[in-house]
Amino acid sequence: MEAAGGQIVRHYRDLAFMGFLEVAMNIRTILRNFRFCEKDLRSWKPDVLILVDYPGFNLRMAKFAAGEGIRVFYYISPQIWAWRTSRVHGIRKYVERMFVILPFEQEFYGKYGYRVDFTGHPLLDSISSEKAHASADEFRLRNNLPDKPVIALLPGSRAQEISVMLKIMLKVVPRYPQYQFVIAAAPSIPDEFYHRFNNGEAVSVVKGQTHDLLRNSVAALVTSGTATLETALFRVPEVVCYKGSTLSYWIARQVVRVNYISLVNLIMNREVVKELIQHDLTPSKLSDELAKLLEPGESERMKKDFDLLADKLGGGGASARTAKLMVQYLQSK
C-alpha cells in the first residue's frame, strides 16, 4: 500500500501479537492504538474505510466507523468459520461489503443471509506478476549456495513464532547431509535474529527472496499461515508446523471448530499436507515426515493435489476484480 502511494501512520508489525496470552499481556498497547486510529478517522473523514484482514483490531474499527457514518468495506474475511462464528452478526451490522478470498467463505456467509463477493486469492496475482525471476544457477550464485538440493524453512513472520519454530526445524538438519537448508527470512526481522538459533549447522538465510527460494526447493517445512498456501502454489511438497504457548493452545482447542489448521487442507477439505501441531511437532516426527516428502511417489501425489488447489482459488486477477467491485459499490450510492 505504501508503494502505491498510501501514507503509513501505524504499521501492523508493531501490533503483531500472537496467541491469547500474548494479546492479554500487550492489551495497553493495543488499546492505545485503537484510540489513535479512532482520532485519525474522525479528523480525516474518509468516504470509505477499507479494512484488510487483522480481525481483532479491524472488527472494532468497523463498529466505530459505522457509528461515525463512514462506509465500511472489508477485504479478506476474518476466519470466523473457524471460531467465534457469532461475529458474523456484527459483520452484517457494521460491514457494508465483504470481499473474500477463499471459495468456501461465500457459502459460509450465505448461511447467515449475508451476500459476499468471492474475488479469488491475491497470491495468484503476486506469483503470476513476477515476470523476471532467478534461475537455479543465479539463485545459488547470488546467495553463495552450494550445488545441493534445497529444503526451504519458512518459520513464520513474527519474532515470537520464529523463535519457537526455528529451534525445532533446525534439529532436523543433521539427518539430511545430502541437502542444504535455507531459511526464508521475514522482511522486518534482522538477519542476526536467525543466526542466533543456528548451532553450527550450515544453514543459509535469504531475505526478500521467498518465491525464488520456493522455485528452487524440493521440499519445505512451513509454519502454519498463508505461507502454507504460498508454498503449495509453487508446487513444493511441505510439512505444516505449529506450536504455541500451552495456555494459548489449550484455549484454541476449546474454541476452534475446524478439522485442519492449514489453508491447503481447509480449501481441499481433506488432508493433502501433513500437519504437526503442538505436542506432535517434535524433531523426530518432523524428520520422518520430511523423509516421506523426498520420496518421488509422495512428492508427485502432493503436486497433483496442489494443481487442483490452484483451480479452486478462482484464477488470477483477484486484486483487480476486488478494486473494480469496490469502485462500483462506492459509485452506486
| pTM for the full predicted model | 0.80
Residue 173 resides in a domain: yes
Task: Give the range with max mean pLDDT: 5-9, 15-19, 207-211.
Answer: 207-211
Looking up residue 295, the CATH number of its domain turns out to be 3.40.50.2000
Residue 272: pLDDT over 80: yes
Mean pLDDT, the chain, rounded, equals 89
Span 33-49, mean pLDDT? 93
Q: Say whether both 277 and 197 belong to one domain.
A: yes
Q: Name the residue range of residue 200's domain.
A: 134-312
Q: Say whether both 84 and 226 belong to one domain.
A: no
Residue 18: pLDDT over 60: no
Residue 218: pLDDT over 80: yes
pLDDT above 90 as % of the chain: 65
Are the C-beta atoms of residues 265 and 271 closer than 8 Å to each other?
A: yes
Looking at the structure of the chain, the number of domains it has is 2
Span 259-273, mean pLDDT? 93
In this predicted structure, what is the pLDDT of residue 56?
80
Q: Say whether both 246 and 299 belong to one domain.
A: yes
Q: Say whether both 57 and 82 belong to one domain.
A: yes
Q: Say whether both 66 and 180 belong to one domain.
A: no
Q: Say whether both 100 and 156 belong to one domain.
A: no
In this predicted structure, what is the pLDDT of residue 76?
93
Confidence label for 21 from pLDDT (cuts 50, 70 and 90): low
Q: Say whether both 271 and 321 belong to one domain.
A: no
